[in-house]
Amino acid sequence: MNTSELFFAPVTEDIRAIEALILSQANGYQADLKAALEHLLSSGGKRIRPTLTLIIGRMLGAEKRHLLTMAAAIELLHTATLVHDDLIDGSLLRRGIPTLNAQWSPGATVLTGDFLFAKAASLAARTESIPVIQLFSETLSIIVNGEISQMFDNRCRINRDEYYKRIYAKTASLFETSAASAAMLSPVDENVIHQLAQFGYNIGMAFQILDDILDFTADQATIGKPVGGDLRQGLVTLPTILYAEHHPGDAAIEMLVKGECVQKENQLNGLIQAIQSSEAPRLALAEAKSFVARGIESIRTQPDSIERNQLIELAEYIVDRKL
- Closest CB to a copy of itself among 9 and 35? 35
CB nearer a copy of itself, residue 134 or residue 220: 134
- H, E, C per residue of the chain: CCHHHHHHHHHHHHHHHHHHHHHHCCCCCCHHHHHHHHHHHHCCCCCHHHHHHHHHHHHHCCCHHHHHHHHHHHHHHHHHHHHHHHHHHCCCEECCEECHHHHCCHHHHHHHHHHHHHHHHHHHHCCCCHHHHHHHHHHHHHHHHHHHHHHHCCCCCCCHHHHHHHHHHHHHHHHHHHHHHHHHCCCCCHHHHHHHHHHHHHHHHHHHHHHHHHHHHCCHHHHCCCCCHHHHCCCCCHHHHHHHHHCCCCHHHHHHHCCCCCCCHHHHHHHHHHHHCCCHHHHHHHHHHHHHHHHHHHCCCCCCCHHHHHHHHHHHHHCCCCC
Max distance between CA atoms of the chain, in angstroms, equals: 61
- What is the nearest approach in angstroms of a copy of itself to the Cβ of residue 243? 28
**Minimum distance from residue 134 beta carbon to a copy of itself (Å):** 5
Please, are residues 3 and 60 in contact by the beta-carbon 8 Å criterion?
no
Which of 117/243 has CB closer to a copy of itself?
Answer: 117
Please give the radius of gyration of the chain, using alpha carbons only, rounded to the nearest integer: 20
Q: Which is nearer to a copy of itself, 152 or 191 (CB)?
A: 152
In angstroms, give the least distance from the CB of 27 to a copy of itself.
11
Taking the least distance from each CB to a copy of itself, the nearer of 32 and 297 is 32
In the complex, minimum distance from the CB of residue 121 to a copy of itself, in angstroms, rounded to a whole number: 4
Nearer CB in complex with a copy of itself: 144/312: 144
CB of 181 to a copy of itself, least distance (A): 13
Which residues contact a copy of itself (rule: CB under 8 A)?
29-30, 32-33, 84, 87-88, 105-108, 110-115, 117-119, 121-122, 125-126, 128, 130, 133-134, 137-138, 140-141, 144-145, 147-149, 151-153
Nearer to a copy of itself, 147 or 320 (CB): 147
Q: Which is nearer to a copy of itself, 102 or 111 (CB)?
A: 111
Q: How far apart are CA 158 and CA 238, in angstroms?
A: 9
**Cβ contacts of 151 within 8 Å, gap of 6 or more:** 88
Q: How far is the CB of 137 from a copy of itself (least distance, A)?
A: 4
Nearest distance, CB of residue 92 and a copy of itself, angstroms: 16
CB of 105 to a copy of itself, least distance (A): 8
